[in-house]
Chains A and B, each alone.
Chain A
């Protein structure tokens, strides 16, 4: 198999703060093939956005970064150190969550797109504006010739996000990172935007990393999905397997906790107890162990390494769900009435028991 387009190895990010060092990323590994759509899901604070910002070289200077990021044979962190221009924004671009704050409110939409083209590709003002009209047409803005002269506040949220996408696509990137691109918009608009991104990705043979907290979005749109928890990727596999045969208890619990449209109303949900861990001075144990229904003594003694089939289905857990080992762990905890971390287990209806 050819080299992946993007390889991230042992990426670690620390933020020193007055309260202590925040361990935001703790050894993240990603491989992305060209043309692939990778979903990164997780809750707030799990490190999804920090991963994206590290790739885009957008972290504050105070951040301490270690590890390797190789993109199409280039060492990305070395490019950053050399102050390389015309890489971010050209080869690798990003779409942010809130389209209002990622556009300049006092500049016309067309100018903002043209600016990118002029800076990176050296287009003249006139050429750049013409291309901007063309780009706005490609992202499905009705009447693009008129829209170039409008300000962001004159557009709805969905149209603004299309302008942001047009801007990200202006220099024909080979990787687009979209960080919660549809979280601020309504479902019908979300569907249109995701359809648009799918179409553009196909037309351009572009790769994409889609960061989302919405498991449904990841399931519906991505080839592969990585689940993050406390600065680590705890499970990664092709989308179908992840949602039908998950291994990490966190993935399993997330899938059980969301209300599903096909369930009758008033179906009792199975929430995940507790809340995400502090990232300052975390103990040397599985970060999910305090909330995990499978937790055993070994989970509290060491951080589980990634296992499974590399590049196919990987997960970092000693007692994976939907396996004999996991079932034994759960049965033992149900019998004891609590997990090794002291989490009481009563009336757990989880099918794996």
Chain B
């Protein structure tokens, strides 16, 4: 199997979504394809928050969108409660989608500017109804209250709200169908820092209140750590490292994870500043490097990194996995 391997998959009855060997490619003309996601395997347990972190172009949004089939999947499977989402089509797919909802990065452009927010929030209900096939305005008011928008503003349109409020409305819309899984694609990147904390706390509250499982995508390592139970670090369509959030940041093993942690403006204390010295640019996902995809920029790279793709391996018996031939050794037992 191309490199990443299935080691991080857990044998646990609480696992809600299992993604196995997911591959996504996009044709870009003249027979060329962008290898957006190339064989990634992970799972998400019920009630867990899985963070996906990486730089632009690493495939983190593509992974998330594949789960709700917003883009086509080349191969691999996405198991959700006994259904393989990668294979579902037509009515079967439509029926399962209310369980999987998404909130987007730009809160303002993801709301229809010409509609009242009451209608924006209730659209899913108007299509699906609740369990009894009906719904009432009370439900909308309850949702608006839950996300901290005064229901008396239900007849206003998105432009009358600030970015933070629009994101709250987007969250209310996603909650309307009582989803099991909520996918958050950079939900706070467009917000000011003072508002960012409000939205992050709100997501945490909604997760508790509605029993959600979250997939949280962000390029901000501090934000991802704050919200996640488990984190995947992605690079050029591959997973580099997967593990428990605290453990991963405490003992980062993959050189790329360390590079990220050393590059943030206030570097993590667990890495060396020189870990951030990575050269060059992200290679093209049309012709990704053979072997380890990070080999063009990695200062630890040797022959084997150009020949063989590293396979995911576990750190002791920890919930911590990495795919690297030359993992950075960290003192054990600290």
Residues of A within 8 A of B (CB): 43-44, 142, 156, 158-159, 186-191, 194, 213-217, 219-221, 253-254, 257-273, 275-276
CB distance from B171 to the nearest CB of A (A): 15
Contact A272 B194, CB 8 Å, known A186-B219, A187-B219, A261-B268? yes
Contact A269 B246, CB 8 Å, known A159-B281, A216-B265, A258-B193? no
Partner of A257, one of B55, B194, B281: B194
CB distance from B263 to the nearest CB of A (A): 4
Which residues of B are found within 8 Å of A213, using beta-carbon distances? 192-193
CB distance from A294 to the nearest CB of B (A): 16
Chain B 172-207: CB-based contact to A (< 8 A → 1; otherwise 0)? 000000000000000000001111111011001000
Cα A284 to Cα B150 with chains together (Å): 28
B162 within 8 A of A: yes
A269 and B260: CB pair below 8 A?
no
B223 within 8 A of A: yes
| Interface pairs (8), CB distance under 8 Å | A186-B56, A191-B263, A213-B193, A216-B264, A216-B266, A258-B222, A263-B225, A266-B204
A44 and B192: CB pair below 8 A?
yes
Which residues of A are found within 8 Å of B111, using beta-carbon distances? none
Cα A156 to Cα B55 with chains together (Å): 13
A267 and B197: CB pair below 8 A?
no
A257 and B227: CB pair below 8 A?
no
B278 and A188: CB pair below 8 A?
yes
Which residues of A are found within 8 Å of B229, using beta-carbon distances? 265-266
Chain B 159-175: CB-based contact to A (< 8 A → 1; otherwise 0)? 00010100000000000
Interface majority SS (helix, strand, loop, mixed), chain A: loop
Cα A263 to Cα B249 with chains together (Å): 10
For A194, the closest partner residue in chain B by CB is: B265
Cα A257 to Cα B164 with chains together (Å): 15
CB distance from A156 to the nearest CB of B (A): 5
Which residues of A are found within 8 Å of B226, using beta-carbon distances? 259, 263, 265-267, 269
Which residues of B are found within 8 Å of A276, using beta-carbon distances? 192, 194
For A188, the closest partner residue in chain B by CB is: B263
B261 and A261: CB pair below 8 A?
yes
A158 and B281: CB pair below 8 A?
yes
Which residues of A are found within 8 Å of B246, using beta-carbon distances? 264-265
| Candidate in B192, B221, B222, B282 with the most chain A CB atoms within 10 angstroms | B192
Chain B 270-281: CB-based contact to A (< 8 A → 1; otherwise 0)? 000000101011
B263 and A261: CB pair below 8 A?
no
Cα A253 to Cα B195 with chains together (Å): 12
Partner of A260, one of B193, B222, B260, B276: B222
Which residues of B are found within 8 Å of A262, using beta-carbon distances? 268-269
CB distance from B308 to the nearest CB of A (A): 25
Which residues of B are found within 8 Å of A273, using beta-carbon distances? 198
Known pairs A186-B55, A215-B193, A265-B246; list 11 more (Cβ under 8 Å): A43-B192, A188-B259, A188-B278, A190-B263, A194-B265, A253-B194, A268-B204, A269-B201, A271-B196, A271-B197, A275-B162
B266 and A269: CB pair below 8 A?
no
For A212, the closest partner residue in chain B by CB is: B265
B: number of interface residues (CB 8 Å)? 41
CB distance from A221 to the nearest CB of B (A): 8
Which residues of A are found within 8 Å of B259, using beta-carbon distances? 188
Near A by CB (< 8 A), chain B positions 269-311 give: 269, 276, 278, 280-282
A214 and B265: CB pair below 8 A?
yes
Which residues of A are found within 8 Å of B282, using beta-carbon distances? 156
B245 within 8 A of A: yes
A257 and B197: CB pair below 8 A?
yes
Which residues of B are found within 8 Å of A142, using beta-carbon distances? 280
The 9 A-B residue pairs whose C-beta atoms are closest, nearest first, are A216-B265, A271-B197, A259-B226, A272-B194, A186-B55, A43-B192, A269-B197, A265-B245, A257-B197
Which residues of A are found within 8 Å of B281, using beta-carbon distances? 156, 158-159
A271 and B194: CB pair below 8 A?
yes
Which residues of A are found within 8 Å of B162, using beta-carbon distances? 275
For B198, the closest partner residue in chain A by CB is: A271
Partner of B55, one of A187, A264, A265, A271: A187
For A46, the closest partner residue in chain B by CB is: B192
Contact A275 B164, CB 8 Å, known A159-B281, A266-B226? yes
Cα A108 to Cα B20 with chains together (Å): 45
Partner of B221, one of A261, A266, A268: A261
CB distance from B194 to the nearest CB of A (A): 4
B228 within 8 A of A: yes
B276 and A191: CB pair below 8 A?
yes
For A44, the closest partner residue in chain B by CB is: B192
Which residues of B are found within 8 Å of A260, using beta-carbon distances? 222, 266
Near A by CB (< 8 A), chain B positions 206-264 give: 219, 221-223, 225-229, 245-246, 249, 259-264
B225 and A271: CB pair below 8 A?
no
Which residues of A are found within 8 Å of B264, using beta-carbon distances? 187, 191, 216, 261
CB distance from B255 to the nearest CB of A (A): 12
CB distance from A100 to the nearest CB of B (A): 13
Cα A19 to Cα B225 with chains together (Å): 42
Which residues of A are found within 8 Å of B263, using beta-carbon distances? 187-188, 190-191
For B282, the closest partner residue in chain A by CB is: A156
For A185, the closest partner residue in chain B by CB is: B56
Which residues of A are found within 8 Å of B198, using beta-carbon distances? 271-273
A219 and B222: CB pair below 8 A?
no
For B193, the closest partner residue in chain A by CB is: A258
Which residues of A are found within 8 Å of B56, using beta-carbon distances? 186
